[in-house]
Amino acid sequence: MWRYVARRLLGVVVVLLVIAAITYGIFFVMSPVDPAVLFAGKQPTPELIAQVRSQFGLNLPVWEQYGIFVKHVFLGDQYGWPGLGFSFVTRASVRSQLTSRLVVTGTLAIGAAFVWLLLGIPIGVVSAVKQRSLLDRLAMGFALFFVSAPVFWMGLMFLWAFWFKLKIAAGTGYYGPTQYGVRTWLNHMLMPWIVLALVEAAWYARMSRGSLIEVMGEDYIRTARAKGLSEARVVVKHGLRASLLPVLTMFGMDLGLLFGGAIIVETVFNLQGLGQWAVSSVATGDLPVILAVTLVSSFAITVANVAIDICYAFLDPRVRLA
Amino acid sequence: MWARLRRDRAAVLGMVLVALILGMAVFASLLARLAGHTPNQLFDGMRTALGLPKGPTTQFWFGADQVGRDLFVRVMYGARTSLFVSVVGTSVATLIGVIVGLISGYSRGWIDTLLSRTMDVWLSLPLLLFAVGISTVCSVSVRGCLGGLLKPGLPLVTGIIALLTWPYIARIVRGQVISLREREFVEAARSIGASDARIMFSELLPNLTAPILVYATLTIPGNILFEASLSFLGVGVPQSTPSWGRMLSDATSGSLFKYAWWMMVYPGVCLLVTTIGFYLVGDGLRDALDPHRAAR
């Protein structure tokens, strides 16, 4: 068991190194813009550019820069551990800004995850049990609608309806609970949570319905029924447990992905999370920030994958960790 | 298959919706002539004294956008962008995915390990962020990047979508190949001396058309939303090319949508209709091609 976990975590490190290398490839090698020129000010003299270049460490060959980056991540730099360097734009440590961004993104992701699980799975289960009933058709119709609707469009429609027209919801922006009070914070987070959760809940409803229907056709369900168990017990104890396995896989990946920033929702609702930070950094050419966000988000995705594989072994006796 | 698909009412509705959008794309220039405006024509009369766009009128059926262009004409042309990028992008991704998946599933040992690990890494990338990055990096100069392989504009967005989504298809194909490669017909082909390439492309591939077709169809709506998201973030197709995502992004700038609801509603509804259509067709295809599912 522990050997398996150790091996998988080692795999995570390797994947992250490869992803960091790909990021370097895209933003340092493919990019035709020289960041040193970009950040040397409005009237860059050759001396100034050279100075900025050495300050940013861009005078070294790319592989050497990559080596230094990896070393700093593992051993820390002048700003502490893990060393992620400083932002070209603000010239401040990336780490110090990362925390506040991560809080916003985390709030959004975890809050939305609660809403979508509580909404998606029960709807999927009821739909599967009452297959082809009016309720099922209605639920699946709604699911199809939210699966198909672009998130940013839903965000706009919600803002237009609940904030601008009905005036029952607060507008955009993130207001921390300690600074502005819990009520204001909740008010501003409610709509982003719901918009993000509706899209995801629709996927989860579709998936858990399909999965449960498949499981209910298995032989052991017939056995459970033949034993004289109540239908509720058959569904919940025997059917649900097996049918939630693929849903769990999806959940881990989705949550991991969201920790890299729900770019679109953060943009629509103007939440200063990781995703928004990364996109604005791409626009300004702030390479260390892009690298940091890519790394954090890939880390979240890969670790979530490992966590799911381990959970699997506990839920499904057929899976052995090897 | 057709008979089963035709009996599925949801799938028929999906086909009607897709046909509708396809019609919009094909006849966009004709519809534009009917409206009497071109997509990039500016109309000063369609903006108020404050510079705000005016809503739908008898001449401008969908109103105007922030610089006074005919939104109806642009929405019609938007169908072209959306369908082109998603269909071509998905086709290229499917082509790469099928080839990689076949090779990976059929060969054992280090080739399979290498290709599967590549897919794993690819799928742990923050895709949207990378798409934004590549698009920004490649749009700086007109020559594009990768030695001119990815040129700014439609080819760039299409290329990015293909480049980032092929592992999903490769994974499915690989799984199917692994379950098929030990079957008797493969054994039989090998015993009469068929080459590996022949077994992969003439024996295995025909058995995979159903899942590939279903999966490709279900990938198209995702890629439509992908293009729209990129354009919404301002890094998709260029400003002059009408795109639904870009129109919605125009509606957000300066919170214009609060007043100009038409800028938000029409492009959004078109996106929604397109994606719903493709999902319905994909679901229907899956049911129709699944031999285990009893005909309803």
Is A322's pLDDT higher than 60? Answer: no
pLDDT digits (tens, 9 = 90+) for B84-111: 999 999 999 999 999 999 999 998 889 9
How many residue contacts between A and B have a Cβ separation below 8 Å? 130
Is A237's pLDDT higher than 80? Answer: yes
Binning pLDDT at 50, 70 and 90, where does residue B148 land? low
The pLDDT of residue B291 is 67
Task: Tell me the percentage of chain A whose pLDDT exceeds 90.
Answer: 22
Q: Is B120 on the interface with A (CB under 8 A)?
A: yes
DSSP state of B203: I
What residues of chain B lie within 8 A of the CB of A150, using their CB? 225, 228-229, 232, 245, 248, 268, 271-272, 275
Secondary structure class of A26 (helix, strand, coil): helix
The pLDDT of residue B144 is 63
Closest chain B residue to A252 measured between Cα atoms? B124
Q: What is the 3-state secondary structure (H, E, C) of chain A?
A: CHHHHHHHHHHHHHHHHHHHHHHHHHHHHHCCCCHHHHCCCCCCCHHHHHHHHHHCCCCCCHHHHHHHHHHHHHHCECCECCCCCECCCCCCEHHHHHHHHHHHHHHHHHHHHHHHHHHHHHHHHHHHHCCCCHHHHHHHHHHHHHHHCCHHHHHHHHHHHHHHHCCCCCCCCCCCHHHHCHHHHHHHHHHHHHHHHHHHHHHHHHHHHHHHHHHHCCHHHHHHHHCCCCHHHHHHHHHHHHHHHHHHHHHHHHHHHHHCCCHHHHHHCCCCCHHHHHHHHHHHCCHHHHHHHHHHHHHHHHHHHHHHHHHHHHHCCCCCCC
Is B241's pLDDT higher than 80? Answer: yes
Is A308's pLDDT higher than 90? Answer: no
pLDDT digits (tens, 9 = 90+) for B262-296: 888 999 999 999 999 999 999 999 888 876 665 44
pLDDT digits (tens, 9 = 90+) for A45-94: 777 788 777 777 777 787 888 888 888 878 777 666 677 778 888 778 88
Is B256's pLDDT higher than 60? Answer: yes
Q: Is A160 on the interface with B (CB under 8 A)?
A: yes
The pLDDT of residue B296 is 40
pLDDT digits (tens, 9 = 90+) for A92-126: 888 888 888 999 999 999 999 999 999 999 999 99
- For chain B, percent helix, then strand, then coil, each to nearest 5? 70, 0, 25
pLDDT digits (tens, 9 = 90+) for A179-236: 888 888 888 899 999 999 999 999 999 999 999 998 988 898 999 999 988 888 888 8
Binning pLDDT at 50, 70 and 90, where does residue B58 land? confident
| B221–A148 CB contact, under 8 Å | yes
What residues of chain A lie within 8 A of the CB of B235, using their CB? 282
Read off the pLDDT of each residue in A151-169 and give the average, rounded to a whole number.
Answer: 88
Secondary structure class of B243 (helix, strand, coil): coil
Rounded to the nearest angstrom, the minimum Cα separation between B190 and chain A is 33
